[in-house]
Structure 1
């Protein structure tokens, strides 16, 4: 899946463009679905490896398996939250800075780095994660710090081993449930994060520091929603911080919109396009995205995802260089397929085609 560590290439005005927020959600959702493909799913398709699964084949897997899995929303949410950090989303960067300050008693605010933890994700390797951990970096707990490099193998492998779970140190016995690790860019301290779609699924386990969840009813509040959880044995010690991402504050709303759209795309991508219901894609934006995917349905999913990542980076960097943004642009920026004219442009920015069918 490429990067697992955030980098500083974005600019806030670009990220606050709703089109870019929808695009980063789309990337996370596709990655989320692909991350749950197992060996059993290959019996349904012709491809023999994750690298070669096409959009059509992902659609078949969706209809036969994922459409019945109510947990897929949470899986895709986790990947999309990571991409919001990776692309420096203003609200979520501020949310995590505040959470870290609540735990550490710091007062600074800076760029947040994140690692998408891959214990149960076949698309992320331990070696790739290790390459982003430096000597001297530690994992935070309220009682003591743990050397990240010393414990990384044990934490990673504990996910699939009851025996190894029993060997985790006292203060990190639940850290195998981690979804992300985050830290301030200049810091050596990492914080284990659990990401859930529903607040009632968010639980504290020793080793976890921050919990992030979606808040569908928080429609009007725009302030940071931080709730500290105190240690049972010490009321002055904060062990865990709950953080809500509300529906109405850009990212939550855009994610829910794109999740619904992607499920419709995967449901219809193997259908005859003439038979596709208008009700599935009622707006011109939605039909445009569906047609882009439909025309590239035989392209490998990873190729499409990587292209979307390049497209998002290009839009962010273009805005950064030109220092302009047209707030009236309503169309979601997804490249139209099969461009052959070098002068084809969308809102003044040249479009690169998706994968070749």
Structure 2
């Protein structure tokens, strides 16, 4: 017997506007928290910065799209955006051996502004028995016990040698992904440029866009000891992410107003900007909260089915048609 997981589109990715809102919100949050603390303090703190103020304090950096990609992936997991979370679930179950329970994401990224709040949030969501599975031999370390030292190691190179050998590269993590039921987690690196993906002790999972012309299959990279989880492009997460990135950039360039049509010719893109412009006098974090109910969450549902099959000379036969688009077949 085999199990077939048939993925079918539950709702059209149109609702285009809703799907775009779903990625625009974490992009806005990523850009807000990427700004220097001094600029944030001068503008009244994160909670008080109005949307119309964001273009004035925003200073473009080469790593902006990467930071926003991290926030978008994190948010997609929290909101159970199926094209992303189904792959993470598969990577955790098959390769990391973390099974049973919902997938959870904790945003880390020690280089980010506001990292003190991020570390506090992580500690609040861990227990004293939370274990980090690094893919190396030996007893997994207790993550909560080491989280402060890991964060400090990002800023102070001399402190890295004091970390256990199995996690002395964990300061490079962007997320901790896992499940609360077994209370097991993996250090995760998120790279918008797959060529920048690198191994470090303590990292177990790597999330990248699918390379053009390459398979988007989740696999174990033997030399890097990383489980690579490529996110799909066409009519899926990466396409929506880059559309959302374009919307936010054009919106900020237009001083938090709807850009001229030549800059955003697609009606759906301009509609998202209208929602934002209507709220430009409100704090950014409140705007994100207010638009959250409009964001589309589940685009794809997965339906498991058990099918009796017969294998002869390498050929699978069944009374049912089991080969279909978007079907994933696994042994039971």
Same fold (TM over 0.5): yes
| Counterpart residue number, 1:331 | none
Residues 231-256 of structure 1, C-alpha deviations (whole Å, 9 max, x = no match): 68xxxxxx311111121151111111
Secondary structure of the residue aligned to 1:70 is coil
1:15 and 1:87 in contact (8 A); partners too: no
Q: How many residue pairs end up in the alignment? A: 286
- Name the residue aligned to 1:305: 288
Q: Greater strand percent: which structure?
A: 2
Aligned pairs for 1:260-275 within 5 A: 260-269=246-255
Structure 1 window deviating more from structure 2 (303-312 vs 133-142): it is 303-312
| CA positional deviation for 1:296 | 2.4
Q: CA deviation at 1:290?
A: 1.9
Deviation at 1:83, TM superposition (A): 0.9
**Cα distance in structure 2, aligned partners of 1:176 and 1:282:** 42
C-alpha separation between the residues in 2 aligned to 1:286 and 1:187?
Answer: 41
CA distance in 1, matches of 2:287, 2:30: 14
Displacement of 1:218: 4.6
What's the offset of the Cα at 1:15? Answer: 9.9
Match of residue 113 from structure 1: 104
TM-score, normalised by the number of residues in structure 1: 0.72
Counting only pairs closer than 5 Å after superposition, residues 195-234 of structure 1 correspond to structure 2 as 195-215=190-210, 217-218=212-213, 224-230=216-222
List per-residue Cα deviations over 1:314-340 (Å, max 9, x = no partner). x669xxxxxxxxxxxxxxxxxxxxxxx
User: Match for residue 83 of structure 1?
Assistant: 75
Q: Which residue of 1 aligns with 2:328?
A: none
Structure 2, gaps ≥5 residues long: 1-8, 299-332
1:52-63 superposed matches below 5 A: 52-62=48-58
Structure 1: runs of 5+ lacking an equivalent: 1-11, 233-238, 318-357
Q: 1:291 aligns with which of 256, 274, 298?
A: 274
Instruction: Report how far residue 216 of structure 1 moved.
Output: 5.1
SS at match of 2:151: helix
What is the CA distance between 1:128 and its match in structure 2? 1.9
Match of 2:183 in 1: 188
TM-score between the two structures when normalised by the length of structure 2: 0.77
